């Protein structure tokens, strides 16, 4: 299981709980099995069709972000380097 899988699972579980739904209730709303909900929340593989149904039931969308997007640490390090270069 990758860190991204684990993060997605945690976010899906949080979204479900924010709606006050059990795994069974989400499974019913999404027309998937409770095992599929469990698998997703635990970072296991589920089909894209099932993921789409679950997202729809939760009223969520996936937003794709380039992996190369700088992190806050990257930006801060770059700013420190530029400041050092100006001071030299």
Which helix (DSSP H) or strand (DSSP E) does residue 1 occupy? none
Q: How confident is the model at residue 1 (pLDDT cuts 50, 70, 90)?
A: low
Nearest Cα neighbor of 36 from 63, 24, 72 is 24
Q: Tens digit of pLDDT for each residue in 37-88?
A: 999 999 999 999 999 999 999 999 988 877 777 788 888 888 888 888 887 6
Task: Say how many C-beta atoms besides its own lie within 10 A of residue 36's C-beta.
Answer: 21
Q: Tens digit of pLDDT for each residue in 60-74?
A: 998 887 777 778 888
State the burial class of residue 26 (Cβ atoms within 10 Å of its Cβ: 0-12, 13-18, 19+).
buried
- Give yes or no for a contact between 54 and 37, defined as CB atoms under 8 angstroms apart: yes
Domains defined along the chain, listed by start: 3-87 (1.10.260.40)
What's the pTM value of the predicted model, to 2 decimals? 0.70
């Amino acid at each position: 299981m990758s860190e991204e899988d684990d993060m997605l699972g945690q976010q899906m579980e949080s979204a479900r709980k924010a709606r006050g739904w059990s795994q069974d209730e989400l499974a019913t709303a999404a027309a998937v099995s409770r095992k599929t909900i469990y698998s997703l929340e635990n970072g296991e593989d589920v089909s894209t069709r099932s993921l789409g149904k679950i997202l729809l039931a939760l009223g969520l969308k996936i937003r794709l972000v380039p992996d190369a997007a700088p992190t806050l640490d990257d930006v801060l390090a770059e700013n420190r380097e530029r400041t050092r270069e100006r001071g030299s």
